Amino acid sequence: MARTAATKKFLDRLDARRATLRDEVEDDVAATRHLTPDERGKILESVCRDAMAILRARPDFDQAVRWQDPRSDESMQTWLAAVRKYRHGRH
């Protein structure tokens, strides 16, 4: 398929943008890339503590912490298949 000049220009812009996004993601994860599991766990604990502090400040705290998003049919089917596979593998 022959590419027009406009198509080539568009694809070149997409490639440049993809490289930029890749660099942005790399910048985001660079500081944590080489952390130990314990170090990552401490960050996770901190985030969870902050989330609970935010939730406690809400007037509907009890309702907010009990809320669960409904599962999609696909998610439920995936879960049930994993349970069946696990149970089958144990017997």
Q: Where are the domains of the chain?
A: 1-34, 37-67
Computed over every residue of the chain, the mean pLDDT equals 90
Confidence check: pLDDT of 44 > 60:
yes
Tokens of 43: 């960050």
Listed in sequence order, the residues at least 6 apart from 11 whose beta carbon sits closer than 8 Å to its beta carbon are 3
Confidence check: pLDDT of 28 > 60:
yes
Assess contact for 43 and 32: CB atoms under 8 A.
Answer: yes
Average pLDDT over residues 30-44: 94
**Whole-prediction pTM:** 0.50
Looking at residue 2, what is its pLDDT? 67
Assess contact for 10 and 18: CB atoms under 8 A.
Answer: no
Chain centroid to CA 41: 16
The C-alpha atoms of residue 35 and residue 70 are separated, in whole angstroms, by 34
DSSP state, residue 58: S
Give 14's pLDDT tier (boundaries 50, 70, 90).
confident
Average pLDDT over residues 18-35: 86
Among 1-10, 18-27, 35-44, which range has the highest average pLDDT?
35-44
